[in-house]
Amino acid sequence: MSQKQFQAPRGTSDILPEEQVYWRFLESRAEDVATRFGYERINTPAFENANLFVRSVGEATDIVEKETYTFEDRGGDLVSLRPEGTAPVCRAYLQHGMHNLPQPVRLFYMGDFFRYDRPQAGRYRQFHQFGIEVIGETDASVDSEVIDLAWSVLESVGVKDVTLLLNSIGDATCRPGYIDELRSYYRSRASELVHDDCKRRLETNPLRLLDCKNGACQPLIDAAPGSVDYLCGDCSKHWDALLGDLNAVGRSYKIDKRLVRGLDYYSRTVFEIVPPSDGQQSTLVAGGRYDGLIELLGGRPTPGIGFALGIERVLAAIPRDDESITKIDGNKIIVAHMGDESKSAGVKLCSELHRAGVAAVLAPPGRSLKSQLRYASSIRATHAVIIGDRELESGSFMLRNLVDREQREIPRDDLVAALIPS
Ligand code: ATP
Ligand code: MG
């Protein structure tokens, strides 16, 4: 009786061996850049107390309203698979007394996140982010640093021609006035508001009206007041300082009033980095300042800022023909052999290569040379060492470069040294 085969759940993917080199490339470049900027890695659990996200991400957000995987565990605790990284990092910051360290604290993370989103290109139910947080500093120089870091990561993996979109949504002093303006603007054009989510947002979360992706709402958004025109003195100063610092580090920006965050603990800087062809699922990096979050989680008032970079989306934007990517894995040797004696020599050689730190695999015994070399290509070997009777006799083995097809004979005793990466 035939049974239907299992498939990976909708919105998840297997990251297959041939794809792994690109992941390693991006992860190692991101880690290098973050380290160069003075950030240290933190790992937090894949699930948290559900209330952490209700409180931090907010009840009236897409994430908490309809996207978290929340369930009661067998002990009766309500937990959520993490939909984002900022709240867990802030929780860890407080839990481990990092607020008692000299401030600010610079952290980065990488891992998988879970949202019950509608799966489509660039949008998955389990996806990966690289992110950073700077906690404990209000100065605009860190806002510029965070943006520069994000952009540097993209540059380091060859993603070019991106655009930085930037906005400031003010703080508790000036935002209420701006929201009033926004609300009266939308009320005056209420008849044009056709999208149900937006009708609701007008009452619950007017800022979110501006990031509506619905086509019908776009003309309304275009003519809406923008928050940078309503900043108070302090927020204005911060904004000007940020623009000055961005100029100093050579990062150009486009001010975009559509960039908002609907929650009270967000303040001032909001930014996104988008690729040249800006579709709706294409934002590569999203970030901003969250000066009220730590307090909301029970800490002293402490400013913070960070971003999250969508790893799958950046991987989709990386040029695939770049040889420097596939090279990061170094040499991988297949040891081909013909007959029992040469197989024994091959077993010994493989073991020596392993001990010397070179990746090596003994070709499957009992097969033709052609079939062994076919195997070599399926495991992405870069070189083949070929051992036959003639080679055993001469004491020199044939080394074939499988990438450029060149081959030469090397004395057995020099072989291992020749393959150790320089
Ligand atoms: P959107 O408006 O596209 O839903 P978001 O505001 O939910 O985005 P953030 O929470 O700011 O996104 O996440 C930061 C980044 O993580 C995004 O810019 C994107 O690159 C990536 N990301 C977010 N959700 C997903 C997802 N479901 N699948 C893949 N990548 C995602
Ligand atoms: Mg989303």
Tokens read off for 259:
């960039």
CB of 289 closer than 6 angstroms to any ligand 1 atom: no
Tokens read off for 397:
């083995």
How confident is the model at residue 2, as a pLDDT? Answer: 64
**What is the architecture of the domain spanning 17-174+231-317?**
2-Layer Sandwich (3.30)
E strands, 193-347, in order = 254-255, 267-274, 285-289, 304-310, 332-337
Mutate to test the pocket of ligand 1, among 208, 313, 314, 315 (most ligand atoms within 8 A of CB): 313
Residues 352-363 pLDDT 10s: 999 999 999 999
The ligand placed nearest to the CA atom of residue 66 is 2
Q: Which of 375, 401, 148 is nearest to 252 (CA)?
A: 148
Task: Give yes or no for a contact between 305 and 287, defined as CB atoms under 8 angstroms apart.
Answer: yes
Nearest CA residue ID for atom 21, ligand 1 = 310
DSSP output for 137-204 = ---HHHHHHHHHHHHHHHHHTT--S-EEEEEE---TTTHHHHHHHHHHHHHHTGGG---HHHHHHHHH
How confident is the model at residue 328, as a pLDDT? Answer: 83
Within the chain, all domains assigned CATH 3.40.50.800 are found at 328-419
Cα 47–chain centre separation: 18
Distance from the alpha carbon of residue 122 to the mean position of ligand 1, in angstroms: 9
Q: Return d(Cα 140, Cα 118) in angstroms, integer.
A: 36
Please work out, in degrees rounded to the nearest 5, the angle formed at the alpha carbon of residue 256 by the alpha carbons of 262 and 128.
60
Q: Return d(Cα 29, Cα 315) in angstroms, integer.
A: 12
Q: Counting runs of H as helices and runs of E as strands, what totals does the chain give?
A: 16, 16
CB of 123 closer than 6 angstroms to any ligand 1 atom: yes
Q: Which of 287, 275, 341, 323 is nearest to 148 (CA)?
A: 287
Residues 6+ apart with CB under 8 A from 343: 337, 362, 365
**What is the architecture of the domain spanning 328-419?**
3-Layer(aba) Sandwich (3.40)
Q: Return d(Cα 30, Cα 161) in angstroms, integer.
A: 18
CB of 310 closer than 6 angstroms to any ligand 1 atom: yes
> What is the model's pTM?
0.93
Mutate to test the pocket of ligand 1, among 214, 283, 314 (most ligand atoms within 8 A of CB): 283
Within the chain, all domains assigned CATH 3.30.930.10 are found at 17-174+231-317
Nearest CA residue ID for atom 29, ligand 1 = 123
Distance from the alpha carbon of residue 103 to the mean position of ligand 1, in angstroms: 29
Q: Which residues of the chain have pLDDT under 50?
A: none
Distance from the alpha carbon of residue 50 to the mean position of ligand 2, in angstroms: 18
Distance from the alpha carbon of residue 117 to the mean position of ligand 2, in angstroms: 7
The neighbour count for residue 339, using CB atoms within 10 Å, is 14
Task: Give yes or no for a contact between 133 and 107, defined as CB atoms under 8 angstroms apart.
Answer: yes
Radius of gyration of the chain from its Cα atoms, rounded to whole angstroms:
27
Residues 6+ apart with CB under 8 A from 165: 253, 254, 255, 256, 258, 259, 271, 272, 273, 274
Distance from the alpha carbon of residue 256 to the mean position of ligand 2, in angstroms: 18
CB of 261 closer than 6 angstroms to any ligand 1 atom: no
The ligand placed nearest to the CA atom of residue 87 is 1
Q: Which of 292, 311, 310, 288 is nearest to 301 (CA)?
A: 292
